[in-house]
Amino acid sequence: MRKHDFYEHRKYPVLIIISAAIVLIIVKLFSIQILDKSYKLSAENNVVRKIVKYPERGWVYDRNNTLLVSNQRAHDIMVTPYLLDSNIDTLFLCNILQLSQQEFNNKIKQAKKYSHYKPSIFLKAVSKENFADIQDKLHLFKGFYTQPRYVREYNTKSGANIFGYIGQISKSLLEKYPKYTQEDLIGITGVEKTYEKQLAGEKGIERKVVDVFGKYQSKLEDGKYDTLPKKGQDVVLTIDITLQEYAEKIMQNKRGSIVAIEPSTGEILCLVSSPNYDPSLFLGNQRSKNFTNLYLDPAKPLWDRSTSALYPPGSIFKLINALIGLQEQVINPATLFICNNGWNYKSILHIGCHKHDSPLNLRQSIAQSCNAYYCSTFQRIIASKENSTAGLDNWQQHVKSFGLNKLIHTDLHDKKMGFIPNSEYYNKKYGIRRWGASTCISLGIGQDAILMTPIQMANLASIVANKGYYRTPHIVKTINQSIDDLNQDFFTKKYCSIDSIYFESVIYGMETAVEGKHGTAKKAKLTGMKICGKTGTAQNPHGDDHSIFIAFSPRENPKIAIAVYVENGGWGSDVAAPMGSLCIEKYRTRKISRIRLENEMINKNIQY
């Protein structure tokens, strides 16, 4: 082939490639300039301001549809550092924003550290009262503008430990929630945290055309590219706010907790942790200061005692040992034990008891809370197996079936599992085969290593009220009037290992504790209303004993089960029992007939 023929044939593929490239470039330019508006928006960023339209968080109601938490409109003051005027009148601006010069400089440094070119929050959640003065003058300062958002508004001063609070998202949470930005708020504790996905809603975007001074001119292309925010879903709590407020009032000047549950559903009626705080303290400019004060408070108001405090249950635990004894057939309702001012073991160990008639049967032992009866019962439970190891492990398995020594998968954000010891615990403590029932005899009366939370104690009352089962305690009733987004396990019955036939004898004893002449809970007696209860007094090596009471009412088809735990309150019969009875009356009748007793309990100041 001649040389010029080779070049003649090669030019056609080259022309085809060049032509195809030109076509592709034309198509791409058409797409960028005509079809894809994002490049246009990017080019106009120097005159177009993107305003995030924050959604309203879902509202929160109580079980009777009383509005508890809603929203109020506030504004963030935003700043874009590279737009700031070098000759800015900082004194005038500080006066408008009610900031010191030092605070102003620190906030500018933080903004520049975040980004010179991206806007960030300079001042968070300015209230509508303060915003009116700022709005008229802020346009005089280039680089600053306002962005509306919603903040929480509370219609009650109670329930802070239930609602929780929202705050600016942390770096660690940003990794977990990639759709959020640094300026977003997120639920930190309580219902706000557990149901963040449902409550949060979805953000919208508004694009505004502004002049070089940041003053609003018009919407970009009449709002063609704007999106509307979507409000969060409303939540109905299981809480009865009337009971919650009353229980918090009766617990004032005391440390401890009151938890009430509807036995048939597991719905939490009140969840009191004392001391508590006003949820509105976490709103406004004083939020950080208030949080610091609460955090440093030695009474720990931010700590939810109702779900996280681990306490010895004391004599209320005798109910479990009575049921295990019946199930294992080591006792029956007619079984008698003698009490010689307590329980004795070979003249070397003595567990004391208060004065009462002796001997007692099962019903009487519950009503009069006899320590000797339950030390003897526990001793028989352990001895029912081939050795102490097998006996204690069998006992622990029964106890765990009451929802103890494990986390219950509820919708409460912070919870503890408590502790129920087994043979391994005592093997480590004393050595293998170097302990027996007498070594851990205090387990029979709810002491030694046993630890429970107040919500577990209330759940115990529910199990007895239901004669052997419970539904997982939970705090949310519906979301947008539906239960579809709730954990469906909440509605399943969980049975303990005790046959239902054994509960009647125990319930009879609890009724006698309140109604009987010698009952330890007779201060809880209420004319015209049956209350079945059990007092407890837990030893406290750090001060006065803790006062405890669990109960349910009425005896048949109970509507409320309750646990009251008052740190350093002394005898359960003197403090916790009347407080629990008053709460039951308030819930069931909406009024209080025993005004003198009510005033005594409200005004009782437990020093600690």
Q: How far apart are the first and last CA of the chain?
A: 109
Mark whether 459 and 481 lie in a shared domain.
yes
More confident residue, 411 or 23: 411
- Whether residue 230 sits in one domain with residue 245: no
Is the pLDDT at 432 greater than 50, yes or no? yes
The per-residue pLDDT for range 396-420, each reduced to its tens digit, is: 999 999 999 988 888 887 789 999 9
Cα torsion through 439, 444, 449, 452, rounded to 10: 170
Contact by Cβ (8 Å): 536, 565: no
Give the structural domain span for 474. 241-276+305-603
Same domain for 529 and 597? Answer: yes
Q: 503, 467 in Cβ contact below 8 A?
A: yes
Residue 11: predicted pLDDT = 64
Same domain, 252 and 166: no
Q: Which of 237, 268, 288 is the last residue of a domain?
A: 237
Taking each helix axis as running N to C, give the angle between helix 371-383 and helix 318-327, from 0 to 180 degrees, rounded to the nearest 10. Answer: 40
Strands (DSSP E) found in 215-361: 216-219, 235-237, 256-262, 267-274, 342-345, 349-352
pLDDT value of residue 12: 66
Distance of CA 85 to the CA centre of its chain: 47
* pLDDT the model gives residue 44: 47
pLDDT at 221: 67
Cβ neighbours around 166 below 10 Å, total: 23
Least confident of 12-16, 114-118, 435-439, 591-595: 12-16
Burial of 148 (0-12, 13-18, 19+ CB in 10 A): middle
User: Whole-angstrom Cα distance, residue 321 to residue 56?
Assistant: 51
- 356 found inside a domain: yes
- Cβ-count burial 287-316 (b if 16+ within 10 Å, e if not): beebbeebeeeeeebbbbbbbbbebbbbbb
Of 237, 258, 284, the one marking the end of a domain is: 237
Are residues 200 and 271 both part of a single domain? no
In this predicted model, what pLDDT tens digit does every residue of 76-89 receive, in sequence order?
Answer: 888 888 888 878 88
In a domain? residue 30: no
- The answer to whether residues 266 and 197 belong to one domain is no
Query: Distance (Å, rounded) from C-alpha 250 to C-alpha 601?
Result: 6
Where does the pLDDT of residue 43 fall: very low under 50, low under 70, confident under 90, or very high at 90 and above? very low
Q: Is the pLDDT of residue 8 over 70?
A: no
* Average pLDDT value for the chain: 88
Percentage of residues of the chain with pLDDT beyond 90: 60
Q: Does a structural domain hold residue 38?
A: no
- Rounded to the nearest angstrom, the gap between the alpha carbon of residue 273 and the centroid of all alpha carbons in its chain is 11
Q: Please compute Rg for the chain using Cα positions.
A: 33
Q: What is the pLDDT of residues 279-314, one digit of tens each?
A: 999 887 788 889 999 999 999 999 999 999 999 999
Place of tokens 């352990």: 382
Average pLDDT over residues 346-355: 83
Are 251 and 204 in a shared domain? no
Given a cut of 70, whether residue 39 has pLDDT beyond it is no
pLDDT at position 341 is 86
| Residue 108: CATH number of its domain | 3.90.1310.10
Residues 337 and 463 in one domain: yes
Please, are residues 468 and 323 in contact by the beta-carbon 8 Å criterion?
no
Pick 380 or 123 by higher pLDDT.
380
What is the pLDDT, as a whole number, of residue 41? 47
Domains identified in the chain, total number: 2
CA-CA-CA-CA dihedral for 468, 473, 477, 478, to nearest 10: -100
Using the predicted structure, report yes or no on whether residue 209 has a pLDDT greater than 50.
yes
At residue 345 the predicted structure's pLDDT band, cuts being 50, 70 and 90, is confident
Same domain, 199 and 339: no
530-578 pLDDT per residue, tens? 999 999 998 887 788 999 999 999 999 999 999 999 999 999 999 999 9
CATH code, 517: 3.40.710.10
> Residue 19: pLDDT above 50?
yes
Of the residues 237, 254, 289, which one is the last residue of a structural domain? 237
> 364 with 247, same domain?
yes
| Count of C-beta atoms within a 10 Å radius of residue 510 | 26
**How many whole angstroms separate alpha carbon 56 and alpha carbon 71?**
7
Amino acid 600: pLDDT: 95
In whole angstroms, what is the distance from residue 521 CA to residue 576 CA? 9
DSSP string, 567-595: TT---TTTTHHHHHHHHHHHHHHSS-S-H
Strands 235-237 and 60-61: parallel
Q: Under a CB-based contact definition with an 8 Å cutoff, are residues 339 and 371 in contact?
A: yes
* Residue 292 placed within a domain: no
- Statement to judge: residues 99 and 203 lie in one domain: yes
> Does some domain include residue 521?
yes
Is residue 13, in this structure, part of any structural domain at all?
Answer: no
What's this model's pTM, rounded to 2 decimal places? 0.85
The total of other beta-carbon atoms located within 10 Å of residue 68's CB is 23
Within-domain flag for 7? no
The pLDDT, as a whole number, for residue 112 is 87
Shared domain check, 331 and 188: no
pLDDT number for residue 529? 93
Predicted confidence (pLDDT) at residue 7 exceeds the cutoff of 90? no
- pLDDT of 599 above 80: yes
Let me know if residue 40 belongs to a domain: no
